[in-house]
């Protein structure tokens, strides 16, 4: 609850949880630098940031969804479908303008599909998006015909891998997305409605909040952000493989709850999500560099999720005196 209050003060203001995440990031960097001579290089720093782009964008959307008491486990495959659409457009004539539009468009459309199932169809979000995940996985298989989409033209890369006034385009897009979402969350009625729904949908309804509209909008926004993420993905890798986005939902949920957003809804932290994404990517990259096979990455993420939720459950159940003593 304190996160709601404290984060409301400023765009980047941080509470204790968020400071500890920052410290954890720095600590991890120090440890990996000592453990591996290849770690502390500007090239590796760029790799970590580059690998964070899709997760930051989808993580912001996931923050809104969890704050609302929702969830979407299909974002990885949605990114895959949007990436295929972008690849097809690029492959056809390489027109970057059209390619830039198609990702967010497909993402928003699929967000509408999710919202139709979950919000209008009243299927619980976890079940509805799991169902869609199954459907979309086959769709991706059929669309790709069991092969990779590879060797895409570099026209999109030429647009998105540039800098504006010295700032890389991905960083600029993420900063704009962050600011818009922060404003919507903390400065407009939408944010209050979202948090009220996350607290209790029935109470929100009794308060006269447009619950269905707000929930629908949020799934749409998350889909839109996933479509932007797909655009950066294609621009960077210039191919779409069968396994695209397979760990994206797991990573996003982990980063968001690591950042202090409640899995039960009603409370969220955008800066926490950004720090959660960075910590996750720093850990994954660092472990790889000290020789842990990439096969183990989802294990790290899974253990983090269970660890954070387990710790929160235990600390909420402990008698107040014990916690206060532990804090003192």
Partner 1 sequence: MTEPFLVAKNIAKRFGALTALSNVDLEIRSGEVLALLGDNGAGKSTFIKILAGAHPPSEGELVIEGKSVAFSSPKDAASSGIATIFQELALSENLSIAENVFLGRELKRSIFGVPFLKRQEMRQRVDGLLKELDAHISDPEAPVGSLSGGQRQAVAICRALNLNAKLVIMDEPTAALAVAETRKVLALTRRLAARGCAVVLISHNISEVFEVADRIVVFRRGRKVAERLAAETNHEEVVSLITGAHPDVRALEKTN
Q: Which residues bind partner 1 (CB under 8 A)?
A: 1, 4-5, 183, 187-189, 192-193, 195-196, 198-200, 202-210, 266-267
Which residues on adjacent β-strands are paired with residue 164? 167
**Between 262 and 301, CB nearer to partner 1:** 262
Angle at 13 between CA 196 and CA 29, to 5 degrees: 115
CB of 291 to partner 1, least distance (A): 44
Q: Which is nearer to partner 1, 161 or 184 (CB)?
A: 184
Closest approach, Cβ 209 to partner 1, in A, equals 5
User: Residue 163 pairs with which residues in a beta bridge?
Assistant: 168
Instruction: Give the residue with the Cβ less far from partner 1, 204 or 271.
Output: 204
Closer to partner 1 by CB, 17 or 193: give it: 193
Query: Do residues 245 and 77 touch, judged by C-beta distance below 8 A?
Result: yes
CB of 172 to partner 1, least distance (A): 20
Report the distance separating Cα 7 and Cα 175, nearest Å: 17
CB of 194 to partner 1, least distance (A): 11
DSSP notation for 242-297:
TTTTTTHHHHHHHHHHHTT--TTSS---HHHHHHHHHHHHHHHHHHHHTT--GGGH
Write down the least CB distance from residue 225 to partner 1, Å: 18
Closest by CA to 3, choosing from 173, 249, 198, is 198
Cβ contact 274:12 at 8 Å: no
Q: Collect all residues with Cβ–Cβ distance below 8 Å to 46 and sequence separation of at least 6.
A: none
Q: 327: which 2 tokens?
A: 């804090």
The least CB distance from residue 290 to partner 1, in Å, is 41
By C-beta, is 8 or 322 nearer to partner 1?
A: 8
Neighbours of 146 (CB within 10 A): 7
Least distance from partner 1 to the Cβ atom of residue 87, Å: 34
- For residue 241, give the nearest of 161, 141, 156, 160 by alpha carbon: 141
As measured in angstroms, the least distance from the Cβ of 7 to partner 1 is 12
Cβ closest to partner 1, residue 122 vs residue 142: 122
Rounded Cα gap, residues 71 and 55, in angstroms: 15
- Taking 3-state DSSP, the helix, strand and coil percentages for the chain, each rounded to the nearest 5, stand at 75, 0, 25
> Would you say 88 or 205 has its CB closer to partner 1?
205
- Give the DSSP H or E segment for 164: strand 163-164
Q: Is the CB of 195 or the CB of 283 nearer to partner 1?
A: 195
């Amino acid at each position: 609850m304190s996160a709601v209050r404290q984060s409301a003060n400023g765009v980047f203001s941080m509470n204790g949880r968020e400071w500890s995440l920052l410290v954890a990031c720095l600590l991890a960097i120090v440890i990996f630098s000592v453990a591996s001579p290849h770690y502390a290089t500007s090239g590796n720093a760029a790799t970590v940031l580059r690998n964070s782009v899709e997760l930051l964008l989808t993580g912001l959307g996931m923050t809104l969804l969890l704050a609302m008491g929702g969830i979407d486990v299909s974002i990885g495959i949605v990114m895959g479908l949007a990436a295929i659409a972008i690849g097809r457009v690029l492959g056809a004539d390489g027109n970057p303008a059209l390619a830039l539009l198609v990702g967010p468009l497909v993402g928003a459309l699929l967000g509408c599909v999710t919202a139709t199932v979950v919000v209008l169809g009243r299927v619980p979000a976890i079940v509805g998006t799991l169902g869609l995940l199954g459907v979309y996985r086959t769709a991706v298989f059929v669309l790709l015909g069991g092969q990779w989409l590879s060797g895409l033209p570099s026209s999109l890369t030429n647009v998105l891998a540039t800098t504006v006034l010295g700032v890389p385009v991905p960083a600029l897009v993420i900063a704009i997305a962050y600011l818009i979402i922060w404003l919507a969350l903390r400065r407009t009625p939408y944010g209050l409605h979202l948090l009220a729904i996350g607290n209790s949908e029935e109470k929100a309804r009794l308060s006269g909040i447009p619950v269905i509209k707000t929930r629908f909008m949020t799934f749409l926004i998350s889909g839109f952000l996933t479509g932007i993420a797909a655009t950066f993905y294609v621009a960077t890798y210039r191919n779409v493989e069968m396994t695209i986005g397979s760990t994206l939902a797991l990573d996003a949920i982990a980063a968001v709850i690591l950042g202090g957003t409640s899995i039960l809804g009603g409370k969220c932290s955008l800066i926490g999500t950004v720090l959660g994404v960075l910590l996750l990517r720093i850990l994954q990259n660092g472990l790889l560099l000290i020789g842990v096979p990439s096969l183990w990455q989802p294990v790290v993420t899974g253990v983090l999720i269970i660890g954070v939720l387990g710790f929160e459950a235990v600390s909420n159940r402990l008698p107040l005196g014990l916690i206060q003593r532990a804090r003192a």
